[in-house]
Structure 1
Amino acid sequence: MTRAAEWSALARGLCAVMGCVRLILLAAAAQAVLFVTGTSAHEVRPAYLSVEEGAPNDFTVLFKTPMQGDARLALSALFSGKIEAMTPIVSRPTGDAMVQTWHMRTIEPLAGQNVLIEGLQNTMTDTLVHVVFANGNSWTARLTPSAPSAVIPASQSSWAVFVTYVQHGIEHIAFGFDHLLFVAGLMLIVRDWRKLVKAITAFTAAHSITLTCATLGWLTLPSRPVEAMISISIVMIAAEVVRMELGHLSLAIARPWIVAFAFGLLHGFGFAGALVELGLPHSDVPMALLAFNVGVELGQLAFIAVLLSAVYAVGRLIAIPRQSIVTSAYAIGIVATFWSIQRLDAAFPQF
């Protein structure tokens, strides 16, 4: 079998796997229509608790929690030691989250106390907790529904911060169905492994650039129009798959790495929106940024590896019809079109 035939068979196998994924995505889309939970394809949005010591035993607290419509996720931050509230809690909505801020004074040292996110055990989300002491020491931890509390140590290593943000990067891409669907569509277009490596590398380089620039505040775009454009980019990729199967030629087909780079810049703003929403530790911004990006790439590579492994396994069991490529492209386009309409409506409600 020639290389071209091998990659053609690989693409058909990918379509068979995408058939299962398609059912899941369509079910998710139907659920979104029924329950109208939001405009993002990401189902898990973490909460963020920041506690920063300005003067000895005097802390500024910021607690960001996801919102579902006009309702805030029922979470609250509790400390095991004696705490005195210095100001009332001030709440303000910011897009899809509620930000609460207040000042508190600790009667007992904060280091050694247990912090609990009450209500987290009843959710499907996580909470990132970041504590900064006046002496420069800091602590970052990821609390989960199964482990909603932790003891605050006096300090933490940079490696622990790195691991925490790598986990969040992996989690974000794992639930970022729109980003994964774009990668799957790109794999349907690129039938040569060298071109695939080049396209994925271009996509990675591009979204790393905009992720860094947007997170550091050098270049920002409104999140809702960005999310809408990401969905539209998936529709365009799906259309290119159909065009290629019909024998047409375009830039995406002839030079897929150029299109992957261009759309990667756009997707990077989407990644940055998630990271900004999550929050960055002030003392470890470069470390956290690098770690989150590493987590995203690990998750993306794992997704590609799983798809290719599944394709290989399916290809050894059954003969996959050629028309399944077009069928899968239409399925990807339908799901992405649904997301596009939903997100455009949220981004431009006045129209």
Structure 2
Amino acid sequence: MIAFFFQHLRSAPLGAGIIATLLVSSLLLTPHAQAHEIRPAYLKLTQIGADEAAVLVNDDDFVADQDSTYFEASLRQPQIDGRFLGLDLGTNCISQLTSANLSGEALIEISLLSCGDGGLQQIDILGLDRTMIDALVSITRLDGSESNHLITAQETSLDLSSTAATLPAYLLVGFEHLVLGYDHILFVLMLLYLVTRPRQIFWVVTSFTLAHSLTLALSALGFVIVAQRPIEAAIAGSIVLLAYETLSDRQSLSHRFPALVAFSFGLIHGLGFAGALSEIGLPEDSRLGALLLFNVGIELGQIVIVIAVLALLFLLRKALGTRVSMGSRQVLRALP
């Protein structure tokens, strides 16, 4: 199949050559990269009582102050290119590391935060500014209330005393997962390359959206449990298959029923989204709300990608000065 791509690279017009180059690159990179490489760090802060703090430390010399505020802090940092990021937690509290372990492809460090009577006011993810990822922060208080925040590589500090409104964290995580996930972007590009009319574009994008929203919800809520390795391989396979289809002139199932193909593969991509979400989890008191925000973030990211592609196609179509349809297949093939 790789030979097929290179053959078309030499003989295809410029537009198809551009697509083929992207596809060959993704095909060659797939065996060496996971389908979802960029995942956020995750900090879970759970307020605990003085007695629980003493148990967590498990040190006879530790004396808990009944008037102090304590948090159990769990910092999960992923591997990128086989290396951990070297992130550290900084707060206004006294921190004591109690354990560290490897779980899958992540390093999880558990610490006790002793915040005195002033409480937890400031959170810093040290070293985050050297990365391309964000950190999702989930805070659970003694009364059971939960709050979620997003710390970015551009703004690595979180001031909990501030009352300024921020965009919901799960919305931003979903958005970034889509726009930074080359696998989903390539798949959407391939879908757009197969269709030629606005109505087809609408149904293809809608079918993909409905399908991945369905399996994302079923998996995130525990109704469907699937290992991620096969899902990641299937996602890569869906890109390779559509790559072959876009460079083929035969009227295959993908050309005749693109919406059906988009829906079928969308079910698999939704399980991939759920795998990313499972690494940070859903808050217990607002699981449905957080899931909805994550999915809306994905849809917003997808809309941004589709609009950007269609805008580029519109400019190319205008530059050609010919009456070609809006589909990327027709526009790109009209290039010299």
Deviation of 1:96 (Å): 2.4
What's the TM-score, normalizing by structure 1?
Answer: 0.75
Deviations 1:30-64 (A, max 9, x none): 8x69xx9x622545321110001133634222111
Q: Which of 191, 199, 210 is the aligned partner of 1:194?
A: 199
Q: Which of 168, 177, 181 is the aligned partner of 1:172?
A: 177
Deviations 1:48-94 (A, max 9, x none): 1000113363422211101135532100111113x363xx4322222
Q: Which of 77, 81, 100 is the aligned partner of 1:91?
A: 100
What is the CA–CA distance in structure 1 between the aligned matches of 2:320 and 2:278, rounded to whole Å? 45
Q: Which of 11, 18, 43 is the aligned partner of 1:49?
A: 43
- Classify 1:84/1:292 alpha carbon distance in 2 versus 1 (closer, same or farther; 3 Å): closer
- Classify 1:287/1:58 alpha carbon distance in 2 versus 1 (closer, same or farther; 3 Å): same
Deviation of 1:182 (Å): 0.8
> Corresponding residue for 1:6?
none
Q: Which of 128, 138, 145 is the aligned partner of 2:146?
A: 138
Deviation of 1:284 (Å): 2.3
What is the CA–CA distance in structure 2 between the aligned matches of 1:181 and 1:84, rounded to whole Å? 43
Question: Structure 2 regions of 5+ residues with no counterpart?
Answer: 1-11, 51-68
What is the CA–CA distance in structure 1 between the aligned matches of 2:92 and 2:128, rounded to whole Å? 16
**Structure ranking higher on relative contact order (CA contacts 8 Å, 6+ apart):** 1
What is the CA–CA distance in structure 2 between the aligned matches of 1:48 and 1:184, rounded to whole Å? 30
Q: Secondary structure of the equivalent of 1:146? A: coil
Q: Secondary structure of the equivalent of 2:72? A: strand
> Corresponding residue for 2:115?
106
> Corresponding residue for 1:60?
72
- Classify 1:308/1:18 alpha carbon distance in 2 versus 1 (closer, same or farther; 3 Å): farther
What is the CA–CA distance in structure 1 between the aligned matches of 2:34 and 2:226, rounded to whole Å? 16
Larger radius of gyration: 2
What is the CA–CA distance in structure 2 between the aligned matches of 1:183 and 1:24, rounded to whole Å? 13
Determine if contact 1:230/1:266 at 8 Å carries over to the other structure. Answer: yes
What is the CA–CA distance in structure 2 between the aligned matches of 1:119 and 1:109, rounded to whole Å? 26
Q: 2:299 is matched by which residue type in structure 1?
A: E
Q: 1:258 is matched by which residue type in structure 2?
A: L
Deviations 1:187-244 (A, max 9, x none): 111223222212211111110011112122221222122111101111111222234x
Determine if contact 1:16/1:311 at 8 Å carries over to the other structure. Answer: no
Question: Structure 1 regions of 5+ residues with no counterpart?
Answer: 1-11, 330-351
- Classify 1:241/1:123 alpha carbon distance in 2 versus 1 (closer, same or farther; 3 Å): closer
Q: 1:181 is matched by which residue type in structure 2?
A: L
| Count of residue correspondences | 300
Determine if contact 1:17/1:310 at 8 Å carries over to the other structure. Answer: no
Q: Secondary structure of the equivalent of 1:187? A: helix
Deviation of 1:22 (Å): 6.7
- 1:1-351 correspondence runs (5 A): 16=15, 19=18, 39-42=33-36, 44-55=38-49, 57-68=69-80, 71-81=83-93, 83=94, 85=96, 88-111=97-120, 113-153=121-161, 160=166, 163-243=168-248, 245=249, 248-318=250-320
- Classify 1:84/1:311 alpha carbon distance in 2 versus 1 (closer, same or farther; 3 Å): closer
Larger helix share, 1 or 2: 1
Deviation of 1:307 (Å): 0.7
What is the CA–CA distance in structure 1 between the aligned matches of 2:231 and 2:44, rounded to whole Å? 27
What is the CA–CA distance in structure 2 between the aligned matches of 1:16 and 1:41, rounded to whole Å? 26
Deviations 1:245-265 (A, max 9, x none): 2xx333322222221111000
Q: Secondary structure of the equivalent of 1:278? A: coil
Q: 1:94 is matched by which residue type in structure 2?
A: S
Identical columns (%): 32
Q: 1:121 is matched by which residue type in structure 2?
A: D
